[in-house]
Chain A
């Protein structure tokens, strides 16, 4: 056996639970460790005896061998990497006692043949192994060991080659008789042998850096800062609370900026600090927190306490230099003065954390630098850029290399650069559509499992083709029978979950009876039943670009509750009696039973109203039956709408797009088109919602579920006002009426500008939320200009509407009770008592408040999920298309980026907004050649030289090859190249690259585009294309009300389409 001896090493190891374990490990001492020197005196050199192992380099003859010790490697490793130092013996003792990143660097060094650096396993070699003596420290023993290595080498090589031991310690106690061995510290060595070489200067600078860092480290430790990561300890909650009360700390939620993840904000703090003697009312009451150190281990969403830094350390606001070429050059004097008056924004650092708001994050494992997965701890990169990388422990990392996983964070110790977490589950392969969609749902905390569990399925009514559901005779008696009325529903084509229908009837006395009949799922779902609880948890149907996740099972949502044509269905109705000027004389609420005459699609309904004959899918008989109702509905709703607009109702724009699929592939991205019939339906729904809202408020002033839209924060309008100013317009934001007026005026003059300003106004809106009137008395709805508003008309896909239905039934019960009381009708009272009791949400306000919170959160998250899915499919579409040919299109410049980095472009055709950069990451200019050559192929070739000037309104590019400077102003049109930016850890995103400017001298053709024309082109192009049913536009999301005038955003986009399809002249 090659082992001469076996030793048992006794170690005491502290494991993760802070338990000490006594561990015994064997150590076999070998006698075949090679010296790896070319001048090995043995007949068969050491390294030749060891087969199967090849050594990259051997120590040379005719030189000195260096043996560094542990501290030398830690401090001066860079010097060893220098070309001058060769023939280095790295002892195993030294290797095992340095940090892992040094180990990696040493390994690299060992692989370089020219360095002649070798690794010597002295701990396993019987001739060099030394036992620790009694009461000897580990460090002392290590030093002895290294000296022993030196001695061995000297003897082995018969003192032919001088050995130098490089140590920073004082080794005088070890008397070494061998004259061949010299002990030096690094300074002596370098100054002795390489005095005039560059390595000497390198050494000097290293030494100084070390001195500084040593002092610095000590300083840090005394301050309570961890030297390696620079984080400070979090203060105790009691200290934080006291600090907040005294005004020293500010409490708030941390938001990480999406553009620049180095910056984070604490929003909405009223900073009025007497110490700083300034009132900060710049409209941005945010405290900026720059950098990871100042963020002190807080994660986006945590509630933290922030302390302001001294004013001198506050960040300077980005000054947009005003370098107008037309003006005379400013005096240098003037510029300096400007600098001194620079505005600084409040900057702070996190001192403690109140609550952590960690959730499940979707993440991807990072492939280590070495390429192979060794060890058990790995870094994972979360999908969301705002979250830092998370370290998890996982045994077989190879298996999760190409999948997205979900992880949760456990803790973030002060000495760790990244938080620690654990693996939860695998989601699916990277960049697979289903995986990405599930990731979107997980990221937003939405339910990704569309199925309902068995106990729920059992409780559902049966409705099969063989055994269709029929209403119960007894129940029909309890309802007002409207089955003889002409009632129809109008929804997107292919819609299965029909929850709203309309009817209108002209009465004998010239009055109209407008009826809105809504599906009645609350009848089938008893309160607090398993299905009710599940629906409450889901809170809403989630609509993504290509699929939806229902709140209620399909039996209810598409069959029994859904108002299908020619079937008897239970409904809850609101019936208005009004005159021909839409003045409401009487409102009736109640449970009804109806029979819908037709399930119309928007386009079909519009055609009927327009008087067309031969409409596909509608028989002539049906058309004639429905036409009068539809026409009356249109007339009445126009009047109602005008009244509402006159009070200040807003009509704004949004960039919603629809994806057209065929065979699982995306064939097109289309804008959502608006017909008048959309508005009709919408207006009726708003009317019904408002009426129910008022009814609920009157019945239950302290526990009604209403929907409010608060007045927007003034500071949010700043972008809108600035953009308008730049275009030369004034926007009045004093009230919703004023805003609507000014926007409409602008639109009359310039449609494009009007559209863009309306988009900006949409961004400035605050969020509409559900509230219980018990705690919130401010119930105004800004966007719709209504005093009381709620959601009543879509109970199949919104849980709030179910509660509203229940509350409405309660309010009717009270009404009936009061009537009965007045009539002293005892019998009825008894009956009422036997009926369903009051819904708990009416009695238990706290429960209602909790439900509202959940619904608001889920709504918000599903909205974001929808945006994310739209982005996902946009990127997929662009990726798909750019494989066939480069995708070019027109974009409008909507914003100039700070520092002249480029501008934001809005491509209306695809509903995409993306930055176009003109500078690289190191601030170098990256101006595409294509602005000169006009060729899209040159969009990625950058000009050499050139000059870029910018201000708030434009960027001016000068170049020797340009005849005259090219100006890119706000709201200019540019031609861009659309590509996908592929990423492993994050979703693929769409990137726009500038091709060239489109000359605005070309006037877009003033085409009055016909509805039919549009439909022909967009809907019937590809008969295989399936529309995925999406929510009807009447959703009343306040920001998505389309213009009632003819030229909608859709038409503007069509104009752009014309621009791209037809030829346009440039220059």
Chain B
């Protein structure tokens, strides 16, 4: 069997055949769960995530409400079958709460919450399969679900991860690359304005290498933005057509 897989071969190819600056295949769909206000399903490579949005609605606890804006509540969980070994995970796992908080902070700035005081917007994220990049996939899924729910946002929030292998920045890391002590950076940007919503890194990255990696991640986000834009436009056009047909009747 192959011994010592190179994360990045001298020919510039990674172990899954992508080049350093190529994203994995993205597949997304909105409106898959009819009962929710908004829902989206996204596949980035083999990482699959479903996001459902409920709201704005009555807050579940009186103390969770703000008098001047909506509160955003995020729940994040990983399915027991999502990794190669079946593992039971509790929702209260610290890692998950941390990720949920990150997502929450991201959207608190993106969503125009001042329009819905004293109400609550719930975002539920469920990861069905993990192959690296759970965080950025969740953020993307949440964006699409929020748009599907019709909640006004300043802009899309697109997220992507990037890392560094021996001075070469690589985009969109999969499970193997993430686990091999590659420094990882997850970035969420609002593409039009270029504002950074979230920047997460849990590993050591040299300051000199930070800028190229960051720039690569942002360019990845922009690519994703165009994909999402397409998908949203298509589904909205479909919706609009159906409404028009109904009206005709």
Interface residues of A (CB under 8 A from B): 1-3, 6, 8, 21-30, 52-53, 96-97, 99-100, 103, 107, 110, 119, 121, 123-124, 372, 374-376, 395-396
Contact = CB atoms under 8 A, between A and B. Distances in A.
A26 B16 contact: yes
Contact of A96 (B2, B16, B25, B46): B2
9 contacts: A3-B17, A3-B25, A24-B131, A26-B46, A53-B11, A97-B1, A100-B3, A100-B4, A107-B10
Given A28-B17, A103-B3, 17 more contacts: A2-B22, A3-B17, A3-B25, A21-B84, A26-B131, A27-B16, A28-B16, A53-B12, A97-B1, A107-B10, A110-B10, A119-B11, A121-B11, A121-B13, A124-B13, A374-B166, A376-B181
A898 B128 CA distance: 73
Contacts of B181: 376, 395-396
B40 to A, nearest CB: 21
B24 interface: yes
B43 to A, nearest CB: 11
B84 A99 contact: no
Contacts, number: 63
B12 A22 contact: no
B77 interface: no
Contacts of B1: 96-97
B89 interface: no
Nearest to A30: B17
Interface in B6-55: 9-13, 15-18, 22, 24-25, 45-46
A119 B22 CA distance: 21
Tell which of A103, A124, A375, A395 has the most Cβ of chain B within 10 Å. A124
Interface of B: 1-4, 9-13, 15-18, 22, 24-25, 45-46, 84-85, 131, 166, 174, 176, 181, 204
Contact of B46 (A24, A103, A110): A24
A483 B3 CA distance: 80
B17 to A, nearest CB: 4
Given A24-B84, A25-B15, A99 B25 contact: no
A576 to B, nearest CB: 70
Contact of B17 (A1, A27, A52, A107): A27
Task: Tell me the dominant secondary structure on chain B's binding face.
Answer: loop
A1051 B17 CA distance: 78
Contacts of B85: 21
Given A6-B25, A374-B166, A376-B181, A25 B16 contact: yes
B46 A8 contact: yes
A24 B84 CA distance: 8
B176 A372 contact: no
Tell which of B11, B46, B176, B181 has the most Cβ of chain A within 10 Å. B11
A28 B19 CA distance: 10
A89 to B, nearest CB: 13
Tell which of B3, B22, B174 has the most Cβ of chain A within 10 Å. B3
A372 B13 CA distance: 19
A1 B11 CA distance: 19
A52 B19 CA distance: 11
B81 to A, nearest CB: 11
B213 to A, nearest CB: 17
Contacts of A24: 46, 84, 131
B46 to A, nearest CB: 6
B46 A124 contact: no
Contacts of A103: 3-4
Contacts of B25: 1, 3, 6, 28
A23 B84 contact: yes
A107 B12 CA distance: 14
A8 B45 CA distance: 10
Contacts of B174: 25-26
Nearest to A6: B25
A28 B46 contact: no
Contacts of B12: 52-53
Contacts of B13: 121, 124
A375 B4 contact: yes
Contacts of B4: 100, 103, 375
B84 A22 contact: yes
Nearest to A138: B1
Nearest to A399: B204
Contacts of A97: 1-2
Contact of B18 (A8, A22, A28, A99): A28
B167 to A, nearest CB: 10
Nearest to B45: A26
Contacts of A372: 166
B63 to A, nearest CB: 44
A71 to B, nearest CB: 15
A110 B10 CA distance: 10
Contacts of A96: 1-2
B193 to A, nearest CB: 27
A22 B129 CA distance: 14
Contacts of A99: 3
Contacts of A375: 4
